[in-house]
Amino acid sequence: MAWDNFKKITFRKKKGISDGLWIKCNGCGNMVYKKRVEEKLHVCPECNYHFPISYENRIQFLLDENSFEERFRNLEPTDPLGFKGLKSYSERLAKAQKATGLRDAAVVGSGRIKGHDIMFAMTDSRFMMGSMGSVVGEKITRITEAAHEAGMPLVIVCGSGGGARMDEGMISLMQMAKTSAAMGRYKEAGGLFISVLTNPSMGGAMASFASLGDFILAEPKSLIGLAGPRVWQSTVQNQKIPEGFQTSEFMLEHGLIDMIVNRSEMRDVISQIIQFCPPRIKAQAPEPALAAV
């Protein structure tokens, strides 16, 4: 029998099944229906894993509708060192800006949570893992000073996993001191700072402003710390790091955070904190910070 007599079998792609209908949960490893995840504010319905979300979603889920007014949007990073790795810093910035629509990792402004006026900031891990460079540090400092001047509560949602941005060298490291100093002045004057830690909250952000909250809240199962577990394991070598090391649950057990709060309950919890522990600060002009560094 000649092979030419066989007909070639073709398979048609099934219709009605769209791409991206299911997503894999990084928590339980199951394939979950994407629409169900979105309905639960991007939380896995099977294991309660909280997926990282964009700044747009965070504002939508946390703040009152149409209450957010962005500030200091014109601040944009430069490449003062002409830093070059596998790619130049300028190229990496351009790529991140195109992918996210952001100028840098931090978005700050004013808004309301259940009617309470607040100053608000967040870092978006999609932009170079939310790493802290000169613009992130300057925005956090300015919004802290704005809260000081207005006598308003300050809520910062940390989504930084990249630490201080090495592409800016010492300028980046200086932001840790600058943000901490501004936060210290604000809190000493009687301000209320609520820090919300999400997955991930690491490096320079966690070693500075993110750990200075009067109340430190965290989403479940978030990675929190200075360096990652693999770095710690290589440091202690033969010693085994504890199970669940650097998770929200571990941090709560050891007194490093105050509460673990589900994303769906975060608005209510923050609103209650502001209601029962309002800032004692009066509207005033804060002492000027160091010139932008």
Reported as a single tens digit per residue, the pLDDT across 83-103 is 888 899 999 999 999 999 999
pLDDT at 18: 46
Tell me: do 4 and 84 sit in the same domain. no
pLDDT for the residue 123: 96
Which residue range forms the structural domain that includes residue 18?
1-49
85 and 139: one domain? Answer: yes
Does 211 share its domain with 92? yes
Residue at 287 is within a domain? no
pLDDT < 70 stretches in the chain: 1-19, 232-233, 237, 284-293
Domain assignment present for residue 111? The answer is yes
Q: Are residues 66 and 201 in the same domain?
A: yes
* pTM for this entry: 0.87
181 and 264 both lie in a single domain? yes
Residues 234 and 123 in one domain: yes
Whether residue 110 lies inside any domain: the answer is yes
User: In terms of domains, do 9 and 149 share one?
Assistant: no
Overall domain count for the chain: 2
Output the pLDDT for position 162.
79
Q: What is the pLDDT of residues 232-259, one digit of tens each?
A: 667 776 777 777 788 999 999 999 999 9
Residues in a beta bridge with 122:
107, 157
Phi-psi region of 244 (alpha: psi -120 to 50; beta: other; left: phi over 0): left
Amino acid at 236: V
Whether 150 and 270 share a structural domain: yes
Residue 14's pLDDT is 47
25 lies in the same domain as 67:
no
Residue 46, classified by CB atoms within 10 Å of its CB into exposed (0-12), middle (13-18) or buried (19+), is middle
